Structure 1
Amino acid sequence: MNRVVITGIGIHSCLGTDVNEVTESLHAGKSGIVFDQERKDFGFRSALTGAVPMPDLKGKLGRRDRIGLSEEAIYAYVATLQALEQAKMDEEFISKNEVGILYGNDSSAKAVMEAIDLIREKKDTTLLGSGSIFQSMNCTVSMNLSTIFKLKGINFTISAACASGSHAIGLGYHMIRSGMQEQIVCGGAQEVNMYAFGSFDGLGAFSIREDDPTKASRPFDKDRDGLIPSGGAATVILESYESAVKRGAPILGEIVGYGFSSNGEHISNPNLDGQVRALNMALKQQDTPVEDIKYINAHATSTGIGDKFEAQALHEVFHSTRPYVSSTKSMTGHECWMAGASEIVYSLLMMNNDFIAPNINFANPDEDSAKLNIATKTIEQKFDCFLSNSFGFGGTNSSLIIKKYKP
């Protein structure tokens, strides 16, 4: 089995538009959550959201390529540019190698809604333009990026709710580990517009602590009242160890475990057994002792039942070692389809800069979170192994373990 390493990362989120900005935000415990009056006017119960800037690609990408990009694909494009540059994969290298793409995405609501609205108004489908179909398909990210960057390897989208980005990285890990690919662009993307989140708001899933947006996302806190929607994109370049060393590429970390499971029960409620099985599978993949895990980036979205079950699962598996735990969603909100990828990027930035970002807004533990070693402030500490959890509707669970690279 091949060793699988990470040679490039890119990020575009409410914490910043490149790795330097994001590292600073993580270290400072800076929230990216704001109040959006447009959502309130539109009829949302909660007007809270992550503030993600929209990149301007004019002059950077030709019109022919731009017209097919959905909102989330635009985010993914800029994140992937960053990651490929760091990984030292230029056009010449890509043209001579079968670089693949596995990207997590589970909606393209804005593009669909805009197309339908135009048809209703004009009564003429020909006015949609040639790019509409490529924006509205769920595989909008992988189909656009594979074309723009001229990728020749594996090419499809992972659609697994809020675990999409994590599963994309996990499946990429297995593809490279088994020798089927040498390099894969992996990641997750999430549109941030109102159309993507109306149904979530209708379920009462969002926090209504609108008087102080930066305090609203409260993972593991007893007084949490719901999640905050957010998004953007994160890209992680996976590569076989042999390929990375041969190219002289930077090695940011090594994937040593991917655990997955399905709860097989309720469509939206989590359960303890499924999460524990995913955690144990990740640990057993390459016989990683629980003692090696020094930090856990929890899925914890700031919902009552979700945080409760994850705290119980983490306590069951790690009660003997009590590693530091934090949920970066306290700062970003829930980045949904991208979260499993962005939280790998966030954790890599912490590991490679010797600090653990805080779980901000954690003031009052409940009976389950009190059993965890939750980082309530930035901790200056070296660590060489972390685990990241991602769970989603339909009972899909994913756990990834990353270690610092050692020859």
Structure 2
Amino acid sequence: MYRVAITGVGIVSCLGNDRETVASALYEGRSGIVSDPERIELGFASSLTGAIDFSPKKYLTRKQRKTMPDFAVQAYAAVADALEHASLAPEELRNDMTGLVFGCDSSGLTAVEQVDLLRERGETCLIGSGHVFRAMTSTVTLNLNSILGTQGACWTISSACASGGNAVGQAADLIALGRQERVICGAAQELNWQSVCSFDGLGAFATNDDPTKASRPFDSQRNGLVPSGGAAAIVLERYDLAVERGAHILGEVCGYGFSSDGEALSVPSSTGLSRAMSMALRNADVQPSDIDYINAHATSTPLGDAAEGQNILRVFGDTTPPVASLKSMTGHELWMTGASQVVYSVLMAEREFLAPNINFGEPDDALKTLNVLQQTKETRVHNILCNSAGFGGTNASLVLRFS
């Protein structure tokens, strides 16, 4: 089994579109959540959302963008940043030992747009060819593959809000098993009202007069999640080959665990995520006491946060390492979240701090022993555990190691 090095990361999120801006937001505990008045006009119960200032025209030509929804262009921007961070030239990617694995579970807006065009124009031939590729769940990997020229693995992981975590984990496995020498991995999530309107109808979204205080993971007053999105990218390489080419090693993916609840469609179990965490710890050959920080999935929903807290306590006991859900700042980045956690963890480890779980006041009675980090902590980081979980009871956990 080969070691798996992290050599580059890139990010487009409501916290910023570059590593320095995002790292500063994490350190300062700065929220990227805003109120969108259009959502109220449309009949949403909640106007809250993450907000991204992003211009697709800055990154790709009009012809290239024709087959790409905005979130795929954001994925390209994150990948380009990660490749620059890894000091990799384009020609180093064009071989069958370099692959692409991304997490994505929908491309909703394009499906709406193509139906609207048909109704408006009256002929399918007037819809345009680009929508075929924009509407596919695999739109990120198929477009990036043609732009970058990679010739190895090229597929999309679709597992709800665990998609990003599973994409990074599977990419690491491909390298550890010697199937690939390098994998560009990550995840993306579209940020528009069309993709989340039915979610709002379930009453799942937070309501708060102050958008920056709406996402309250683990807090007893939490009342729902805040939808968000963007794209996160990570360059993984076989460790020995990365060292050989003189790459700067940012960290390692040393453990990956997964599980499914096998129970309810939308209510997480009290054991599923703990099995994924335990598998990741075994895979990394570390003990719970070796973990410095748990980058939690907690989305600020009453049932979800309680279940994750119970699962953490099941693995770590009443004395846990610092725990924080960065969704308190970013909102729930849905399919992207498992990958963005890896990027955020790398940024924290590079700069030697742990970001807080903002908007936390009082815990639930059942979670009082959970060590929720309420303020930024300056410290050297060695091992971080990242959790992600999704509808259908799908779970993913990653152990990241930093020297």
Scaled by the length of structure 2, the TM-score of the pair is: 0.98
Instruction: Quote the Cα distance in structure 2 between the aligned partners of 1:247 and 1:267.
Output: 46
Counterpart contact for 1:221–1:369, Cα < 8 Å: no
Deviation readout 1:8-32 (Å, 9 max, x if unpaired): 1000000010110000000000000
- Offset at 1:97? 5.6
Counterpart residue number, 1:124: 123
Aligned-partner SS, 1:26 = helix
| 2:249 counterpart (248, 251, 268) | 251
The aligned amino acid for 2:392 is G
1:187 has 2:180 as partner: no
- Structure 1 gaps of 5+ residues are none
Counterpart residue number, 2:283: 285
Counterpart residue number, 2:158: 159
Counterpart residue number, 1:330: 328
- Structure 2 gaps of 5+ residues are none
Counterpart residue number, 2:27: 27
Counterpart contact for 1:6–1:251, Cα < 8 Å: yes
Counterpart contact for 1:296–1:325, Cα < 8 Å: yes
- Offset at 1:352? 1.5
Counterpart residue number, 2:175: 176
Of 348-357 and 257-266, more deviation after overlay is shown by 348-357
Instruction: Quote the Cα distance in structure 1 between the aligned partners of 2:362 and 2:402.
Output: 33
Instruction: Quote the Cα distance in structure 2 between the aligned partners of 1:92 and 1:275.
Output: 40
1:318 has 2:316 as partner: yes
Instruction: Quote the Cα distance in structure 2 between the aligned partners of 1:120 and 1:154.
Output: 38
Counterpart residue number, 1:357: 355
Instruction: Quote the Cα distance in structure 2 between the aligned partners of 1:394 and 1:248.
Output: 42
Counterpart residue number, 2:344: 346
The aligned amino acid for 2:75 is A
- Offset at 1:256? 1.1
Deviation readout 1:14-64 (Å, 9 max, x if unpaired): 001011000000000000000001111111111100011232325x42222
Aligned-partner SS, 1:45 = coil
Instruction: Map residues 392-407 of structure 1 onto 2, 5 A cutoff.
Output: 392-405=390-403
Counterpart contact for 2:165–2:339, Cα < 8 Å: yes
- Offset at 1:321? 4.4
Kindly tell me the number of residue pairs found equivalent between the two proteins.
Answer: 403
Counterpart contact for 2:97–2:179, Cα < 8 Å: no
Name the % identity: 51
Instruction: Quote the Cα distance in structure 2 between the aligned partners of 1:163 and 1:65.
Output: 29
Aligned-partner SS, 1:229 = coil
Counterpart residue number, 1:200: 199
- Offset at 1:103? 0.3
Counterpart contact for 2:319–2:370, Cα < 8 Å: no
Deviation readout 1:148-197 (Å, 9 max, x if unpaired): 11111100000000010000000011110000000001001000101110
- Offset at 1:351? 1.4
Instruction: Quote the Cα distance in structure 2 between the aligned partners of 1:330 and 1:368.
Output: 20
